[in-house]
Homo-oligomer: A and B are copies of this chain.
Amino acid sequence: MIRRKGLTSVELAKLAGVSSATISRAFSNDPAIKPETRERVLALAAEHGFRPNAMARSLNNSRSRLVALVVNTVANPAEAEGLDLLIHRLQERELMPLLLCCANHEDRGHLMRIASTYQVDHVVLYSDAVSVDDALDIFRSATLIVASSEPLEGRDLFDVRLDASAATAQIVDHLVGQGRRHFVYLSGRASSHIDKQRMRWFADALERHGMAFEIVEHGDYSYESGYKEAVLLLRRLRPDVLVCANDLMAIGAQDAATLLGLKIGADLAIVGHDGVSLSNWDSHSITTVMPPHGVISDALIELIERPPTAPPEQHVVNCIVRWRQSTGPAPR
């Protein structure tokens, strides 16, 4: 296996009988180049397998076309299913995703510092893996784009904020309309921003009916914890609605409830969050509050493509409801 280095623009220039500047112009769609020359250069380049060196290129125009994606882990479908779409969109635009997986990584700062070394143009904070301030501090010369449901008041950032208030209200209205009165929220990690938000949205929606809900704080986002906590709380509290911090816990809870002889969608309604694809299996069809991944990705891309001089901009994206069997017959 011979590892030959590709040729450079000067070498190709020699072969084409032009200067390296012309090579550069051929590849950068410069209108100053004669179309025929362009064609000739590109043909020759293709023939010899020449492609401009992105390192050298970004060294002097300081645009790397690299986008750092800061996530927790790709092993979690709730994150990965949206991420996959975003990566796809980036690739369509010939932007290169640099993935930073922060879960299990003690020193996230170090991780980001290394990434910043590559002169990334944009940083997308795709999960709550790191704080906005840390990221701002480290990625000084990149534009930071935050995707979160945490309200970042007055921060003047580029951000796409998820809002599930409407979706949550729809579900609550529907369930209250079914005559349900006893709501319980099973938390994943009560201290997490996303969990706090979700509880707040539920509280608001219930309050409009003059109602409240109880919180069980012992979950950890896993199937097992959903199962275990559901067994305990169903015996103790006897709710007719169980809202779970994520779909995995909702599925675990459903299995537990079934085991206890409850009829899902009738005796007990179950609601999940995230809308992961497995919430829609026949075995456990979970009504869930889902972030619209396509809309989010589009908004993020829009922020990424904004000219660097443009002022910070905020998008608010509304979550949607996936009606499934765990809340009985769907409305309308």
Contact = CB atoms under 8 A, between A and B. Distances in A.
Contacts of A75: 77, 80-81, 83-84, 277
Interface in A70-94: 73-75, 77, 80-81, 83-84, 87-88, 91, 94
Interface residues of A, number: 64
A96 interface: yes
B282 A4 contact: no
A88 B113 contact: no
Contact of A49 (B77, B103, B140): B140
Nearest to A97: B99
A281 B223 CA distance: 7
8 closest pairs, A vs B, by CB? A75-B84, A54-B117, A74-B74, A255-B283, A74-B80, A54-B118, A55-B59, A75-B81
Interface of A: 1, 3-6, 49, 51-56, 58-59, 62, 64, 66, 73-75, 77, 80-81, 83-84, 87-88, 91, 94, 96-101, 103-105, 111, 113-119, 140-141, 143, 156, 223-224, 227, 251-252, 255, 277-278, 281-284, 308, 312
